[in-house]
Chains A and B, each alone.
Chain A
């Protein structure tokens, strides 16, 4: 085994070390580009008290929504939630905490977290409930709030293709938060549709360089569609 070979052969191995009360950053937007098998493995493991950082929380019965079934999530950090009845129920019952975060701020929190930048100023959210308790500073006559970055104990990511060294390419809009999540995990796990040998991917086309990736696994994906919209041919 090469020192750069990131491939693991089972989902148990992929998520080894995940423990109760950890923070997990997940890629995906809606149900698009979600690490569906890694989520399924977290369900199988039964890990509890998790803080999940993800733009959304899946739907009833699919994606992160399945982690609500056994109350594995303590807190969600998201920009938009509540596409699922179970989520609403647990939120209203006070069993689930939600930190609503503007989508661009959430993306930047992951990006900055992965880049070693602990906090940043942004105009987004100034004068709104999001700004409560946060430092405000004026630059060039405009007010900005200080937002702290996010890192996770684990990051779970869905890619399209990767080489064994963990260089990852995403497909179409399934990219979304995935490359950001990949940088922000102490342990980053990427599941992909295809694993190829080093040298087969064009270096200039890599979205996530292998340095960010600790474990890589090939999966099969359902890729459920949330809003099926078509036009007549």
Chain B
């Protein structure tokens, strides 16, 4: 069975470490905040200028001046700090954020990522995604392994305009966890009940399959 969105978030959450500053993108990455292990302290960075994002406010706490990068009303966690957009991106571009999790349309074996622009469709913009992928060392991309039409999103060369070049080393799809090394995807783990054959079939870019590929457990 392919992983659910929640299972993907749970799997990403296993990469968290105590004391990490983390930037979570919109969609599945946002869900990772729900699976921070008990007793572990993680601080969420929101690129509009908040380090230490708390839960959504109650009806009484709503404040138009407190939003996250998705423009949702939020609260500040205990120990949070708030600052300008330049300060926020100094953290991101200066490599101070420990883990960045974001979605994508395509990733390729050179570590390139395409996530913001589909030619012919309305282009809304890259927001902070280009800064995040260029600035972070430790990035996990979350996406489905193949499109609804079965076309692989793990390619030898991205077909869409890039968000960043040579910056991705870890990819979690609904079928597998892979790392990118020396111009190939390395299959590290597979979703429960998903065969290596299925992953091979749905991976267009070069894929290295080690002798043993453990199943994820939840």
Query: Which residues in A have some Cβ–Cβ distance to B below 8 Å?
Result: 29-33, 55, 78-83, 88, 91-92, 100, 102-108, 110-111, 122-130, 160, 171-180, 207, 223-233
Q: Sample 10 A-B pairs with CB under 8 A, ordered by A number.
A: A29-B49, A29-B71, A82-B125, A176-B84, A180-B84, A223-B65, A225-B67, A227-B67, A228-B73, A230-B56
Given contacts A81-B125, A226-B67, 10 further A-B contacts (CB under 8 A): A102-B131, A104-B89, A106-B85, A110-B86, A130-B126, A177-B85, A223-B64, A224-B64, A229-B72, A230-B57
A233 to B55, CA, bound (A): 11
Total A-B pairs, Cβ < 8 A: 175
Docked-complex contact B125 and A127, CB < 8 angstroms? no
Q: Is the CB of B84 within 8 A of A175?
A: yes
| Separation of A92 and B83 alpha carbons in the complex (Å) | 36
With A127-B166, A128-B164, A129-B117 known as contacts, the answer to whether A173 contacts B50 (CB < 8 A) is yes
Contacts of A33 in B (CB 8 A): 65
Q: Is the interface of A mostly helix, strand, loop or mixed?
A: loop
Decide yes or no whether B77 CB sits under 8 A from chain A: no
Which of A81, A123, A180, A231 lies in contact with B56, CB distance below 8 A?
A: A231
Using C-beta atoms within 8 Å of the partner chain, give the interface range for chain B.
35 or more
Q: Does B37 contact A (CB under 8 A)?
A: no
* Separation of A111 and B88 alpha carbons in the complex (Å): 12
Roughly how many angstroms separate A83 CA and B162 CA in the complex, as a whole number?
23
Q: Which residues of the partner chain B approach A110 to less than 8 Å between Cβ atoms?
A: 86
Inter-chain CA distance A118–B58, complex, in Å, is: 45
The minimal Cβ–Cβ distance linking A84 to chain B, given in whole angstroms, is 11
User: Across the interface, do B165 and A127 meet the contact criterion of CB distance under 8 Å?
Assistant: yes
Q: Which A residues are in CB contact (< 8 Å) with B184? A: none
**B60 and A233 contact, CB distance less than 8 A:** yes
Taking a contact as CB atoms under 8 Å apart, the answer to whether B67 and A128 are in contact is no
With A231-B56, A232-B58: A80-B127 Cβ-Cβ less than 8 Å: yes
Is the beta-carbon distance between A122 and B165 smaller than 8 angstroms? no
Residues 103-132 (chain B) with a chain A CB within 8 angstroms:
112, 117, 122-131
List B contacts of A82 (CB < 8 A). Answer: 122-125
Minimum CB–CB distance from B81 to chain A (whole Å) comes to 11
A70 to chain B, nearest CB (A): 23
> Is B142 an interface position by the 8 A CB rule?
no
Taking a contact as CB atoms under 8 Å apart, the answer to whether B135 and A123 are in contact is yes
Interface string of B179-190 (1 = CB under 8 A from A): 000000000000
Whether B62 lies near A228 (C-beta < 8 A) is yes
Q: Is A100 a contact of B48 with CB atoms below 8 Å?
A: no
Q: Give, as a whole number of angstroms, the nearest-CB distance from B68 to chain A.
A: 8
Chain B: minimal CB distance from A28 (Å): 10
How far is A129 from B123 in the complex, measured between Cα atoms in Å? 12
Partner of A128, one of B49, B84, B161: B161
What's the least CB distance linking B112 to chain A, in Å? 7
Answer yes or no: B5 CB below 8 A from chain A CBs: no
Shortest 6 CB-CB contacts between residues of A and residues of B: A127-B165, A104-B89, A104-B131, A223-B64, A80-B125, A103-B128
Collect the chain B residues with CB atoms within 8 Å of residue A31's CB: 64, 71
